[in-house]
Structure 1
Amino acid sequence: MYPGVNMDMEMQNVGSNGSEAAARQMATTTGNGEGHTHRGPQSAETGSLLQAQCNGGSVEMKSDRRVLALRGPQDSTICRMQKELKDVVCWKIPLWMLLLFLLLIMVAIVFITLALCPVFHQDVDEKFDPSTFNISRLFKGNFSLLDLPFSDDLLVPSSNQSRALSRDLQGKLTVVYSSSPALSRYFSKAEVHAFRNGSVVAEYRLTFLMPEQQEEQLRRFTLSREMVYNVLRQSLHQQEDHGTYIDPLSLTLV
């Protein structure tokens, strides 16, 4: 009936509704800002314990004590490895048991190999037949004995002093060549057959045996005069200074 009055009332309602919406929006904005900054006691009590998961580790924050308990990626890796070791890989056998079994097998193989190695390994040079050594190789020479006074009994091969000294020196020469890796298989005997004056000079003879098939090679290398001489001289330089002492500088060999 009164169109002008109705229109004014509708515009007033719209205005009031818009003002209320704006007021609510401002209150919400204010609450999100200042309300977050100024938290009440109830809000502080409610947020006393916060937990957050980050990269497999956990972070626990206690606001009342401000204590941080951290579990790093290392703990997570250990847990993952433990879980993988417990996984069943074959039938009902876990992974850790399978790895242990393989390790034991490897250790057993190593011990068996070490035990059988000397049995299967045979040096070709160690295979020889002494009965085929029928070619003689002779050397002779002399050397002086230090700190041993000369006696006329040494000029008599059948005297007790001459025999005792001969056995002593022959034993020394036999030990030298019998223990030589290169010459021991060819060595036959050593003899001390005479003594003469000049601080007691002993004359000796060495006998070696070799196979006919290798005669030429052995004469040139293994059983050469230089090889036999150097083996004896080196041993004399290492002899202990007691008993019958042979002068290494007086050694001759032909």
Structure 2
Amino acid sequence: MIITSIFLTFVLVIVLSLTLYSVIYIDEDEYWHPELIASGNHHNFSGIIKINCDKPDLLLAESAYDSYQLSEHLSKKLIDVYSHSPALGRYFITAEVISFSYRNNTASYNLCFRVPPETEEFMEYRMNKKFVLNILRQNIYDQEGMYNLDVPGCSIMTLDPTSLSLTQI
């Protein structure tokens, strides 16, 4: 009887502690002021990514594909990746594909973020180019390809995660 009551008391203390902790604890990463971000600085990045086709010999210029449609699809993908990112979504403003190089099937894009007034830690760990690039790289590895694109001669288009490059502008 004594062992049972000690065990129940122990379980009750643990449950009560966890309940109080979850009510009182505020994660600093989850707590942010939209006004602080709105008054923050812009940080822009420019990048390049290679687009592969399931037929390696096909160049996008040789297909009768509309570059506007590819540009819109890739811009939407970039916007989805960064706006839904738990780490960078609240800072993300926009993404845009700015040009294509049909000689080597690459696309150039720009990313724009608004961040709170700079702190050294934030810029070093959260808004550095390696971190921003790896969010896109991980998403590309998680996806199989870009579908719903009507490219003659190319049934599946993929983005090459190893070709990614990013510079802060």
Aligned-residue offset at 1:212: 1.9
Query: Is it true that 1:246 corresponds to 2:150 in the alignment?
Result: no
Aligned-residue offset at 1:153: 5.3
Which residue number corresponds to residue 107 of structure 1? 11
RMSD of Structure 2 on Structure 1 (CA): 2.9
Segments of 5+ residues of structure 2 without an aligned counterpart are: 148-156
Asked if 1 retains the 8 angstrom alpha-carbon contact of 2:145 and 2:159, the reply is no
Query: Within 1, Cα distance between the matches of 2:161 and 2:29?
Result: 31
Which amino acid in 2 is paired with 1:154? Answer: D
Asked if 1 retains the 8 angstrom alpha-carbon contact of 2:99 and 2:107, the reply is yes
Query: Within 1, Cα distance between the matches of 2:20 and 2:106?
Result: 52
SS of the aligned residue for 1:131 comes to: helix
Aligned-residue offset at 1:181: 4.6
Identity %: 33
Alpha-carbon distance change, 231 to 117 in structure 1, aligned in 2, over 3 angstroms: same
Query: Within 2, Cα distance between the matches of 1:126 and 1:219?
Result: 17
Equivalent runs, 1:19-168 vs 2, <5 Å? 96=1, 99-133=3-37, 134-147=40-53, 150=60, 151=63, 154-155=66-67, 162-163=68-69, 165-168=70-73
The CA deviation string for residues 137-172 of structure 1, in whole angstroms up to 9 with x for no partner, is: 0011221211175246534xxxxxx24x33432333
Alpha-carbon distance change, 226 to 101 in structure 1, aligned in 2, over 3 angstroms: closer
Asked if 2 retains the 8 angstrom alpha-carbon contact of 1:142 and 1:252, the reply is yes
The CA deviation string for residues 100-139 of structure 1, in whole angstroms up to 9 with x for no partner, is: 4443333233233333432222112322112222310001
Segments of 5+ residues of structure 1 without an aligned counterpart are: 1-95, 156-161
Query: Within 1, Cα distance between the matches of 2:164 and 2:26?
Result: 37
Query: Within 2, Cα distance between the matches of 1:110 and 1:217?
Result: 35
Query: Within 2, Cα distance between the matches of 1:199 and 1:154?
Result: 17
Asked if 2 retains the 8 angstrom alpha-carbon contact of 1:146 and 1:199, the reply is no
* TM-score between the two structures when normalised by the length of structure 2: 0.68
Which amino acid in 2 is paired with 1:240? Answer: E
Higher helix share: 1
The CA deviation string for residues 21-46 of structure 1, in whole angstroms up to 9 with x for no partner, is: xxxxxxxxxxxxxxxxxxxxxxxxxx
SS of the aligned residue for 2:66 comes to: helix
Which amino acid in 1 is paired with 2:161? Answer: P
Asked if 1 retains the 8 angstrom alpha-carbon contact of 2:81 and 2:136, the reply is yes
Aligned residues: 150
